[in-house]
Every structure is written in structure tokens, then in C-alpha cells.
Amino acid sequence: MLLIRCPWCGPRDETEFRCGGEAHIARPGDPQALDDAAWAEYVFMRNNPKGWFRERWVHSAGCRRWFNAERHTVTHEIRRTYKPGEP
Amino acid sequence: MTAFRLAEGGRIDRARPLEFSFDGRKFQGFQGDTLASALLANDVFLVGRSFKYHRPRGVMSAGIEETNALVAVGEGGRLDTNSRATMVELYGGLVARSLNRWPSLGLDLGAINGWFSPLLVAGFYYKTFMWPRRLWQSLYEPLIRRVAGIGEAPAQPDPDRYDKMHRHCDVLVVGGGRAGRAAASEAAAAGKRVVLCDEGDPGAIAKVEVLARTTVFGYYDDNFLCAVESDARRQKRLWHFRAKEVVLATGAHERPLVFGGNDKPGVMLAGAVETYLRRYAVAPGKRAVVFTNNDSGHERARAFRELGIDVAAVIDSREGTVITRTLGGKRVTGVEVGGSRIACDLVAMAGGFSPVVHLYSQAQGKLRWDEKKLCFVPDGCRQAVRVVGRANGEFPEYRIAPLWEVEEDKAFVDFGSDVVARDVHLAAREGFSSVEHFKRYTTTGMAADQGKTSNINALAILAGATGRNIAETGTTTFRAPYAPVSYGVLAGRDLGDFLEPIRVTPMHDWHAAHGAAFENVGQWKRPWYYGRDMHDAVQAEARSVRKSLGVLDASTLGKIDIQGRDAARFLDRIYAGTFSTLAIGRARYGLMCREDGMVFDDGVTARLGENHFHMTTTTGGAARVLDWLEEYLQTEWPELEVYCTSVTEQWATVAVAGPRAGELMKELGFQTELPFMAFKEATIAGIGARVFRISFTGELSYEINVPGDQGLALWKAVMIAGEKHGITPYGTETMHLLRAEKGFIIVGQETDGTVTPYDLGLDWAVAKSKDFIGRRSLTRPDTRREDRKQLVGLLPADPREVLPEGAQITEVDVALPRGHGSKPVPMVGHVTSSYLSPNLGRSFALALVRSGRSRRGAELFVPLQGRAAKVRVVEPVFIK
Amino acid sequence: MTHLSLRGSGERFFAACEAALGMRPPTAPNMVASAGGKALLWLGPDEWLAIGQEAAPLREALAGIHSSVVDVTSSRKSLVVSGERAEEILSKAATLDFNVGAFPVGSCAQTNIARTQGIIWRRSTQEFTIYVRSSFAPYLRAWLDDAAQV
Amino acid sequence: MKRFSAFSLLRNAFTGHEEWPPYWRSPEPKAAYDVVVIGGGGHGLATAYYLAKEHGIRNVAVLERGWLGGGNTGRNTTIVRSNYLWDESAAIYEHALQLFETLSEELNLNVMLSQRGVLNLAHTPGDVREAIRRVNANRLNGIDAEWLDAKQVKEFCPIVNISPDVRYPVIGATLQRRAGVARHDAVAWGYARAADALGVDIIQGCEVTGFDIAGGRVRGVKTSRGAIGAGRVGIVAAGHNSVLAAMAGVRLPLQSHPLQALVSEPVKPVHNCVVMSNAVHVYVSQSDKGELVMGAGIDGFNSYAQRGSFHVIEHQMAACLELFPIFSRLRMMRSWGGIVDVCPDASPIIGPLPVEGLYLNGGWGTGGFKATPGSGHVFAWTLARGEAHPLAKPFALERFTTGALIDEHGAAAVAH
């Protein structure tokens, strides 16, 4: 049971959040310009590392804000959470 | 006083005798006894039968590690089966029964398995019962099942309810022994919020919240721990802790020794014997032999003598002597040492100590094998945890030399699973030398105690058998729960009506009072139809809407207020259609797709102002759509100035539909000639309202939205005003029927996550000249295929035939085959909605059919039991 | 009591709010500004629940500023949990730390409560107001009643 | 291979079981193999077995990082069934079920297949619609399936609660009688033993750390026990497929999630079949030992930790007691987690990767165990011939580009 630090509300129980998968995948500006493979890459292909992973979370039962986290997928340690737009 | 109860001492209350029964015999114990201590005090040593061989078993321990003395306590719906007698607090009137025996504990026919024990070695079942094949399931497996298991499950539901608590603290101390109490006091003195949990009752500690009879069973990420609190009769409450720091003072478990017949009643852990003497004032024997491989055995012997047990001998393996086997049947009568025999009625095993590192290991703490103390000790953990006292391997002056096994028949390693030392050797011989393989092959560590008494001995024997040391051999992962937890406690009070919240609209009580049958739509209760008989009700409701007037509670529809400079631009990206061109005061139907191009919600959105929209969603999609909008706004397009606010519950929605709807609206005070798909703010029946002329049903229809608090008042006003028009309230079933007559889709019924807007024939709702979520996916090779499944109408050849929804469609006239072994029949689609329409005077259906649009007029078949229904493919619009 | 959902950000927004409401939306997370029966509850970095405030003057003051004011008076119902066991009962329903040191008087939080969600506002040491979506109110009321019995 | 039978067991009983040989050898890896299979779970071992048995390719190694069957093979809830909705899925799972039906004789090891029947409960009109759709599709596909109303459900499984007064009453259920459970470890050990007997090298404690790729073609693998050459390489490492594919520079549409399961203390026979419920997210059976075996839901975040969050189990248990109120005082004895790699459409990926000679069989999500024999069988064919087996073809990675997904989200009792 993770304890996740919402960048606004502070540490809250995992049950207040929803994980949105890999972070920093920008929607292509002009999808029509992409070929099928490039589009599939955006829609479906994801990194799935064993180790540190940058992922998106939303504080769905709290302030409903999306943010990013760096979490280790083996130890589950979260070394940092940060607001969208922050590197 | 009974024969084995000491005249004085112990923490029992001799002034409070308690009657209890075991296997129908009445006994007496005292307040402060456990069932185990009370049975021992009454000279009851045979308490159970073992799992596989049905060997006689007695009390072995005085704690949670007990794996022999499993009994059923209680009756009826309050039957607690497989209870450890050592953990059952005695109470007056307690009823206990022995388990896993037939016809009786004394004479158990299952013990015949013992005669076949040379056959029933580890993994025997993998090697046999294969021929003839059909006998496995008809004969062998049922036999195995009958013999296996321990107690019976209760036959009745549990009348008790259970509680849950969340607790935050600075320091959580697990274990109320000396080390735990010291740690708790110290932290409390430093001003910290401290909670201490103990399996028993450690008494009060200043400034510490002490939870007695509370067993911490799970240690999860980020110092989240779970515990179960019991009273004398049951586990009653689940605790969730979030602690800044955890102190584990969980002590150590004594290990048994592995020698012939070490499982007989009367063979006990030495520490347990001392506990029974000191704490319960019970002498579990008159004449003991102590068997040890370390210093503690000698101390125990001194204590026994002091407390009144005669010690016939201390057999210390370090001195070159061992017990090879025990004598006796249902009770130990002596031991064999070398060639000679020593008479005794109690054998105390002092095999050394294993720190209780279960929780530490669950916390992802690492363990290290200590070659001197012969045990695993904590060796570093990422989480904020400290281990103190014996749990940390801090034993008092303690010398031990390995004695893992005395090679003999019936030398038990795992008592609960009936695993003997020879099984360990067999597993090693057959290549199951990885600890995990060995565990699975022999089932070691998988019984009630989950290896608390067996794991280290088994591991050491395996190490010896495979020529490795223990550190190399490793240990299995400790997993929650440390002690078994009842399902009821885990479920807590979230049962029955609390399993999922029941959501109701402001008009709910009216519906209930007027005979509505309710449908579960997600968490909502929606009126399904009004009346006793669904068929009659729906026919009448549907007829009424088309002929005169019907009214629907549409309050559950999702509603989202969207405003901001970029609101229109935002909607253009969200919806497949264009909303920036929508005039103020007008509304438009829209489809939302996921990025993979598949339809995921639909609804009508009205433009209230230049930068202000009122969106509606499906009932089930309300929360999902708002999340979707927020996700895109916050993560993809933060530059858009748009705010979305859920107003689902702000507005109660009354939809009036039917040819008389216009008249009704006038009578309610709405004089405006509102064109189709338009919106107006107005006062209806004296209530400020938003009126939309939109239609679920294809009839002349108005959706009146008023603040939720006024919903019931509006509904009642509509009913009164509508009376002369024969207004009929209708439910979701009729709504579906009316929609289907018009070919309007229902997301989740006509769609299943694999359907595009084009598949539905809704090309008109897809803009060609702008990007929107999912657009790119619509031009992939598979989504472009001409022969995709497309929405069509079906007319059964028999106009009374209502096709089952979900039924598959074929090109050939076949009955539904038996299934197994029948030749596959290609399917071309399935029925998504199907009704008998009073307005058409016949049945009809919607379906998704491969190349459906090009099949108009064609005949297809719907295979049913024993026959196929013939259907004609038509346009999915039945009432223009 | 009117409930308004208030969204916005930036100094112009705050200034306009303050002028119209007589109080400034708190920017510290999970804090409540309250006076004279009116209150502003922090729900998010650009989101507040305004209680007891008029919509029209606020909308007027915010004209031309990126913001939204939506009447949500019927969206939620309030439940009051008060008394010596208030913290205990809430601790059965929610995972937050309700100790007054961690959850001071005058602060609020949105969280899961039993199997629904709501806003919890600590009014005093022993009194909490819960705002829950109207359709969930009967459920939550029954749940908390049940929890108070054991 | 020394044959297992009642007679051999009896004979060995007289010699104290001293004569039994190891189930499989522990060979040193050779310099090169025709085929290297990465992953010694049920799917990988089955692949190796069928390569040797049906394609005569015996110069095969199975490389296992830990111990055989230590991943999802040994962590699932042992359910086997083939009642999938779409033709493509139904075909491959039915192929697997048919192989399961003769697997004990095939491998000469009792895998304890118990065709006790699997009920999938329906609680809403929508569930009923989906159930009818699936039952009819199954039967037209030659797979046994029945629709039972609530009364028939009660007759088939007397302990299930069909009271109309619960939150989500049971309206009916689909039943596949040929479905049931099998002993998961035995499947892995049986394939290992049989493959070993045909000459396959099963190498445990051998971690793949990279690939030897030249000119767009795989030539071998780098391992913790040295480099091993390979004609073709099959990745069959449920949970870790993304990690391995990444070593070859390939990104997959997979995410690895924890999936938990738990058992109760053993009790005498009380539950005679397998019950699954999509609506309340639960599946329950009783093992031969008497434990109630229950699957929990999937955790929402990526993890390789083989452990999940506790609230998932609490939620699960409430759903379980709603269906089986008499279980309330039974106790959870052990819980554990596996790592499932899940595809966006909840269907597996079987076939070539964009590196020549490199193949993948993964993404089985929560449904891998029941597919084991079929998966191994078609993957062996695919590896042997260098082209996808007809049953595997629809499951190519390519489908994410073309859009021809096989969306089986309705098929498992967990919310993906």
C-alpha cells in the first residue's frame, strides 16, 4: 500500500490515486501526418522498465490534479513527485 | 483441581471456573486459560489427527505456531474451524470439537493411511492415478479431497459484523514483551504518538495506546501494516496502520527437533512446557525427558524441576546422545536413546530459536544466516523499521550446535503437512533442490503454521541432502498473513447494501411508492419499469409515449458544465463532431472516441453562451468522461483556458416525451416555441429550469432540468399536469425500446469497445476536417475495412419472435450446436438489442453484422436451441 | 446555503474574488477561509467550494478573467459527525490522520469515505462536516450510523 | 525417463524410494543451440517439449533466471477454461484445453486436471446479454457452454447465494463443464521432465542479460553463465517480456502489473466447482488439499515486485462473502502476488519481433495458465518453421499497427 505525496495535498494513501501509466508521452501535434506504425507507437507502445519509472498519477479522490512520479517498480520507492510541466 | 493443574501459581483466576466441552465431554477450566491449557489440565492429550496420515496429535506449543492442536470452536453460523487450541481463550460454555477424524478422535479409520505411508511419500500423487483417465475425476480425486482438508466449513452464514480502523502513529511497536515495552516507553517519553500491539494482553503502558489481543499480520509498502484484533470469541476488527517508524519486537519461536515419532501427543516444545507451568499452572506431564542441542534445554530442565515436573533425563546432542524415537501410541510413554529406553510421559524439545522475522521479511527486509546462533537474523531494510530483542537474534548466553535430523522413520519436519525427513531427501534426490521447488513438492511450510515450526529444520536438511550450506540454500519468501485472518474481518462492514454505494435520484421515493422495479446501472438504482409484469408494463409504457405522453427520470445522466475562452475548441478535440459552429442556444449530439478510434461515450451538448457549454454523458460514463476531460486539459492541453465542473447532481432531469409533450409544457408555463435541439432557460411550475428540446425517444420531447432539491417537486407537478393526457412514467427498459425503434444506439449495448462511429453508421457525427481524439485510428487498415461489423436492423420472420439479446448470427440455417465436438459454424455478428414493439406491432432487433450495410434485404439466421430464427436485414430505423 | 464551485487562478482572479466575497480564496492546500457563516474551502490549486456566497456579484467581478462560477448547491448534502467518538468513527471510514495535530480545526480534505468520496471540514476539535454528493448521502449516512454502533 | 505409475510407486516403496532419478538433469549450457527459449515457466517448457517432440528439434535450451515454474506458472489460481468470446481466442484456448485433457498421459505425470465446471455469474441485464453472446459464440465454435438461470446455478453450486436481496443479485451464469482446475506446478514439472527426456537442456539460474544481434538478426544470447549461440530465440518470460525485448531494442505494448491471489486454511470439500464473477470481481475454487483458492484484482500500477496492495484483497473478500456468506469465518492463510504483463486488448502477442530470428510469446495477462499447452504447441510450430502457426497468426504484434485488436476485456474476472 503506497503512500504517495500529492504535490498539492501532501502524502496520502494509494487508494486516493489512480495511475495513468508512463509519463512524458506527448500527443503528436498532427496525428494525420504520422504513418500507422508511428501512430501505434504513440497509442500503444510503452516503456515497462524494471527499476526507476516516470509515471503519471491523478489524485482522483482528492484535488483531482494530475502529476508525475519517479517510482521504482521493484521496491516501490517513490523518490519524487512533481507537477506537470516540471522536468 | 485436576490431576495436572498445579495448586498454585499461574495467571489464571481460580475463583472463576469455566465450564466447556470437547468432543461432547464436559470439562472445567479457569478464567485466563486457553483451550489448550485447559485440555492439558484435564489430562486431554490427544486433541487432533494429522492432515495426511491421521496420526494422533496433541498440543505442541503454547502460541500461534501451533499446527497440531487444531479444533473447531463454536456452532452453527459461529463455527470457527481449524482454530489453534493454544490461541483460543477459554470462556464459559465454549464448545469445541476435534477435527479430521472418523468416526471418532480415538478410533479414526483415516489412520489406515499410516499403514500406506511408504506409498504416500512426497509427490506420490504426481506419479499415479493417471490410469484409467476417467477414474481420476470419478474416484481418485474425490477420495483425496475427502481425506484432505482439516475441519468442516460452517454451513450457515455468519451472524457477526466486523469493524475496521485506520490509525496513524509515529511509532508502531509490534510485540509487548520486554523489548517491545521498553521501546514503546522510550518513544512515548520522547513525545511521540505510540501504538503497541500484542497477541496477548501486555497490560497498560504510560502514554502508549496498547492494543491487546491484536496480531499484526501484514507489513506492506511505506510502513503500512495490518493487524487483526480479537475478543475471546472471534476476530472482530481489522486495523490499518501507517507508521512513521516501526519497531518489531516479535520475539523468537523455538524449533522442534526431528527424530522418530516426534509428533506424538506428549512431545512438546520445551518453552511451551515452561509456559504452561508458569502462566497456566498446568504440568503437561509428570516425568519429562528434555531433548536439546543447546544450552536452553538445561535451563528448561531446571525450571521444570523447580515447578514440579520430574525430569528423567536431559538428552543433549552435543554430548553425543540423541533420542532416536519415542514410544507409545496416543500418548508418549517413553523414548529410545541409543539402545536403552527411558519411561516418561512428556518429551520437551529444545531445538534452538528462530527470530520471528516474518514481518521484517514482508517489509522487504533482508535476512542473514547467523552460523553461530543457527538462525536467520535481520540484515537491513529500506523501510523505517527497527528490530529489537530476540527478534533481532539477541538471545541471552546461548551456545548451540547443529542437530537437524535424527535419521529415523516418522521423523516429522512439518507436522501440519505430515512431511517427514525422508520426504525432504526424496525431493532432493528428484531434483527439487531449489527451496521453492522443495516446498511445493513436499508441501513443507504450507500448512496452518505456514512453516513457523518447520522451515528452518527443512531448509537445513535440504541443505545437507544437496551438499550446500544453509546460506546458499536460501529461504522462502515470508508472505502475509503472519497469522490467518478471517474473511469476515477482511470484508468488514462493506457487505450487503454496503458492498457498493446505492445511488438514488431525488425522485427515488416517488418511483418506489409507485411500483417501480429498479435496475442496477452501475451504482445507481434506476426505475426499470413500473408494475409487476415487465412485459405488460413495457408495452403499455412504450405505447403511451408514442400515442400521448410519457415521463422519464433522466437525472442519472452525466452533466458537465464547461466554460472558458477555449471551451469550443476543446470540445472540437474531444468530440468526433464539431461544436465550435454550434449556435448559442442550440444543442448537438456528439460521439467520443478513445485514441484507438473506438466509441466510448455519447451525449448531447448545448451551447449556453459563447464560452459556456452544458455537456451530457451516459449514466455509466459520467465520472469517466469528466476524468477524461480533466486528463486531456491538465496533461495534453494545459494552454487551453477551460474549466469543467460536474453538475450531474446539481440538476434533476425530467424528460417528457410524446405527441402531447408540447401541450403539457404550455400548461406548465413554458410558452416558448422551442425548435428541435434548442435550449432555453425558463420557469417551469414555478421552478427555475433549463429546458432542452432534445429527444431520447425520437418523439417530441423536452428535458427539464431543475436544481436537484426541486426535482421531486417538478416531477409531481408534471404528473399532475399530465394526468389529463394520460401521462405514464416509464423506465429504462421502455427507453431502450423506444430508442431502438428509432435506431438510436446505447453505448455499452450497441458498442463494446470495438466499434467505431462509422461502424454505427454515424458518419454524420464525424467531422472530416479537424483532428479529434481517435481520428487517426479510424484510417488504419483494419478500421478502414469494408467488411467490418456494422449496425443494422433485423426483422425476424416470425413477428412474435423476440430474439435473445447477445445471440449470434449466421449465414446458414443451423440450430445452436451442442458445443463440444461440433463443427464450428462461422458467425457474422450478434444481436445487440431486441424487443417486441407495441408501436410496430412486431418484434425487431438491432445487430452488429459483418458487412451489414451491404446485406440490406438479405436473410440471416439466429441459431437457437433446436432451431434457427430467420431474420431479414433492414436499415436500423424502424419508426421514421 | 448556496454552494458555488469556483475555479480560477492568478492575482487578478484573487483580487476580484476578495472584492466580491470579502475573503480571499486560501492558497494553502486543504485550508478553509470562513467568516460569518460564509466559507471558502480549498479543493485544488485552482478550485474552491464557496459556501453561503452569491453567484451574481462574483460572476460580475470575474467578468473577463479566466474563471468559472457554477452553482452546485444541490450537488452535495452535508452530514455532521460530532462528539467524543468523531475521530474514531471517521477513522473507520477514511484513511486520513484525523488527529487534531495532523488535521487542524479550520482545515478540510477531500478523500475516500467508506466507498464514496467527500469533503471533510473540521469545524472544531470534535466536530466535522462532511459534504458528499447528494445521491450518495443516504448510503453514507447509513454506513456511518452502522460504524457508530460498533 | 523412468515411467511413473502405481506399479513403479509400489516397487519403489519397497526400496525406500531410493531409486528415483531427478525429474530433469542440470546440464551446463552448451556453446550454441538450434533454439533458445528464454523463460522456464509452463509456456517456455511446453514450447521446448513440443519443439523436441513434434518438430524433431532437440538441440534446445530453456534458460531460466530463477527456478522452473517460479513465475506465474506457480502463482496463478489454476483455472483452465476455453470459453472466450472471439473466434481467435476461443480457438487457441480450446486447443489448449484439448491438450490439457490428455496431458497427464502425454507427459506421464499427473497434472490433476479436474474438470469441475466453471461458472461465470451474471448480475445485471448487461451481464446476461454478454453471457448469451459468449455462450452462443462458444457453441458455434464447437466449445461446450451453457446458460443457467439462478435456480440452475444453485443446483450446480449449492453454496452460492442467489438471494434477490443482495446488492447485485445473481441472475444466472454461463457454465463450461469441461473447464476446471489443474495442478499448476505439475504442468511445469511435467513438461520439464518430458522435455529433458527428449534431450532439451533445462538450465536454471541462468539470467539473460542481452542479445547478440548482427545485421538485424539474432545470433545468440548473453547470459549470467556466458554467451550462448542460437539459431532462433523465443522470449517466453511472462511479466518480464518488456525487459527482455528492450535488450533487443524492441518496445512492446505491454505493462507489468501485480496480480494477487490467496488461499484459506484447508477445509473439507465444500465448493465443488469454479465460480467467477465479473461484476463483483472475484473467482473462487477449492483445491484438492481443501484450501479455497481465490484470485484478487490487478493493481493499477506497474510493478515487478510480486506483491500487491492490501486494499485489493479487502475489496475482493467483500465480493466473495456476498456470493458465499458461509465463508465468513474461514481464514486467509497465505497470499502472494505474480507479475502479469497485460496488452491493451487483453490478448497475448505470439509471433516474430522486428529482429530476425527473435520471437515473442507473451502478454497473456491474467489468463496464461489455462493456455499453457496450446501456447507452447503453437509457439513451437512458429519457432520451428519461422512463421506463425495459423492459431497464432491473429496474435501478431502487427495488430497494434493495423488496428485488428482482439479485445477480450470481458473475458477475465478482473478489471484490466
ipTM associated with this complex: 0.97
DSSP bridge pairs for B829: B809, B849
Q: What is the pLDDT of residue D201?
A: 98
pLDDT band at B2 (very low <50, low <70, confident <90, very high): low
Place of cell 502514554: B207
Residue in B497, B501, B707 nearest the CB of C136? B501
Distance from the A29 Cα atom to the nearest Cα atom in chain D, whole angstroms: 19
Q: Is the per-residue pLDDT at C133 higher than 60? A: yes
* Residue range D359-369: mean pLDDT, rounded: 96
D-contacting residues in A 1-40 (Cβ below 8 Å): 1-2, 14-15, 18-19, 21, 36-37, 40
Task: Give the pLDDT score at D415.
Answer: 30
Q: What are phi and psi of B581, to 5 degrees?
A: -90, 0
CA angle, B223 then B229 then B232, to 5°: 160
Residue C136: list chain B partners with CB under 8 A. 501, 503
* Closest to B359 (Cα-Cα) out of B344, B337, B375, B381: B381
**Looking at the complex, does the CB of residue C2 fall below 8 Å from at least one CB of chain B?**
no
User: Is B218 an interface residue toward D (CB < 8 Å)?
Assistant: yes
Q: For residues B661 and B544, what is the distance between their CA atoms, to the nearest angstrom? A: 12
Q: Per-residue pLDDT for B322 more than 80?
A: yes
Whole-number Å distance between alpha carbons of B675 and B819? 54
Chain A residue with CA closest to D299: the answer is A19
Residue B247's H or E segment, with its range, is strand B234-248
Distances from the Cα of B300 to the Cαs of B10, B40, B251, B393, C104, in angstroms?
17, 19, 18, 19, 54
Please state, as a whole number, how many other Cβ atoms lie within 10 Å of the Cβ of residue B739: 21
Mean of the pLDDT values across residues A28-48?
97
Judged by CB atoms closer than 8 Å, whether chains meet at D300 and A76 is answered as no
**Residue at grid coordinates 448537438:** B588
Peptide bond into A49 cis (omega under 30): no
Percent of chain D residues past pLDDT 90, beyond the cut: 93
Q: Do B707 and C73 touch (CB under 8 A)?
A: yes
pLDDT score for D412: 43
CA distance linking residue B223 with residue A14, whole number of Å: 13
Partners of residue B524 in chain C, C-beta under 8 Å: 135
What the block records as the C-alpha cell of C57 is 456579484
**Average pLDDT over every residue of B377-400:** 95
Rounded Cα distance, D270 and C53, in Å:
61
Residue D168: is its pLDDT beyond 80?
Answer: yes
Name the minimum distance, in Å, from the CA of D257 to any CA of chain B. 16
CA B263 – CA B268 distance, rounded (Å): 8
For residue B226, the SS3 value is strand
Best of B240, B574, B635, B639 to disrupt the A interface (most A CBs within 10 Å) is B635
pLDDT band at D416 (very low <50, low <70, confident <90, very high): very low
Q: Crossing angle of helices D42-55/D372-385, nearest 10°?
A: 50
pLDDT band at D219 (very low <50, low <70, confident <90, very high): very high
Q: What backbone torsions phi and psi does residue B201 show, to the nearest 5 degrees? A: -125, 100
Residue D385 scores a pLDDT above 50: yes
Residue B399 has pLDDT above 70, yes or no: yes
Separation CA D147–CA D157 (nearest Å): 14
Q: Does the pLDDT value for residue D279 go beyond 90?
A: no
pLDDT by residue (tens digit) across C45-90? 999 999 999 999 999 999 999 999 999 999 999 999 999 999 999 9
Tell if the CB–CB gap between B168 and C99 is shorter than 8 Å: yes
Contacts of D289 (CB under 8 A, 6+ apart): B148, B149, B443, B446, D266
Lowest mean pLDDT among B140-144, B160-164, B348-352, B555-559: B140-144
pLDDT in tens, B704-745: 999 999 999 999 999 999 999 999 999 999 999 999 999 999
The mean pLDDT value for B766-784 works out to 96
CA dihedral A13, A19, A23, A26 (to 10 degrees): -130
Range D211-219, long-range pairs (CB < 8 A, 24+ positions): D211/D247, D211/D248, D211/D355, D211/D358, D213/D248, D213/D249, D213/D355, D213/D358, D216/D355, D216/D356, D217/D355, D217/D356, D217/D357, D218/D248, D218/D355, D218/D356, D218/D357, D218/D358, D219/D357
Average pLDDT over residues B522-541: 96
- For B172-183, the pLDDT digits (tens) are 999 999 999 999
Which residues in D lie closer than 8 A to residue B518 (C-beta atoms)?
none
Task: Give the one of B430, B502, B781 whose C-beta lies nearest to D23's C-beta.
Answer: B430
Segment B748-764 shows an average pLDDT of 96
Instruction: List chains adjacent to chain A, taking adjacency as at least 3 C-beta pairs closer than 8 Å.
Output: B, C, D
Res D260 pLDDT > 60: yes
- pLDDT band of residue B113 (cuts 50, 70, 90) is confident
Q: At B113, which helix (H) or strand (E)? A: helix B112-115
- Contacts with A16 from chain C: Cβ below 8 Å: 95, 111-112
How confident is the model over B432-441, as pLDDT tens digits? 999 999 999 9
Task: Render pLDDT for B480-516 as a digit per residue (tens, 0 to 9).
Answer: 999 999 999 999 999 999 999 999 999 999 999 999 9
Question: Which residue from D172, D244, D206, D169 is spatially nearest to D30, judged by alpha carbons?
Answer: D206
Q: Which of B71-85, B239-253, D267-281 has the lowest mean pLDDT?
A: D267-281
Contacts with B, D 254-283, CB within 8 Å:
264-270, 280
Residue B226 half-sphere exposure, CB side, CA atoms within 13 Å? 24
Helix (H) or strand (E) holding B691: strand B687-693
Using CB atoms, which residue from D16, D270, D329 is nearest to B80? D329
Smallest CA–CA distance, residue A58 to chain D, in Å, is 12
Q: What is the pLDDT of residue B130?
A: 87
pLDDT, mean of residues D254-275 = 96
pLDDT value for D173: 97
Cell of B423: 520426504
D-facing residues of A in 64-83 (CB < 8 A) are 71, 73-76
| pLDDT range class, residue B147, cuts 50, 70, 90 | confident
**D402/A74 CB distance under 8 A:** no
Helix (H, G, I), strand (E, B) or coil at D196: helix
Residue B3 has pLDDT above 90, yes or no: no
Q: Which of D130, D189, D268 sits opposite B806 (nearest CB)?
A: D130
Structure confidence at residue D413 as a pLDDT band (50, 70, 90)? very low
**In this complex, do C75 and B647 lie within 8 Å of one another by their Cβ atoms?**
yes
Residues B853-877: b if buried by 16+ CB within 10 A, e if exposed: bebeeeebbbbbeeebbebbbbebe
The percentage of chain B sitting over the pLDDT mark of 70, rounded to a whole number, equals 100
- For chain D, give the percent of residues with pLDDT over 70: 98
The residue ranges of DSSP E strands in B385-503, in sequence order, are 385-387, 412-414, 419-420, 485-486
Percentage of chain B exceeding pLDDT 90: 94
Instruction: Please indicate whether, in this complex, the C-beta atoms of A12 and C96 are within 8 angstroms of each other.
Output: yes
Test D405 with B596 for CB contact under 8 angstroms: yes
Nearest CB to A63 within list C45, C95, C96: C45
Query: What are the cell numbers at D293?
Result: 483458492
User: In chain B, which among 228-287 make CB contacts under 8 A with chain A?
Assistant: 240, 242
Q: Which of A20, A43, A76 lies at the smallest CB-CB distance from B777?
A: A43
DSSP string, B259-323: -BTTTSTTEEEHHHHHHHHHHH-B-S-SEEEEEESBTHHHHHHHHHHHHT-EEEEEEEGGGT--E
Question: Measured between beta carbons, which residues in chain B are less than 8 angstroms from residue A75?
Answer: 364, 382
In the predicted model, what is the mean pLDDT of chain D? 95
| Grid cell for residue C71 | 452553482
Output DSSP code: residue B476: P
Distance CA B369, CA D413 (A): 42
Contact C29 A65 (CB under 8 A): no
What local confidence, expressed as pLDDT, does residue D410 receive? 65
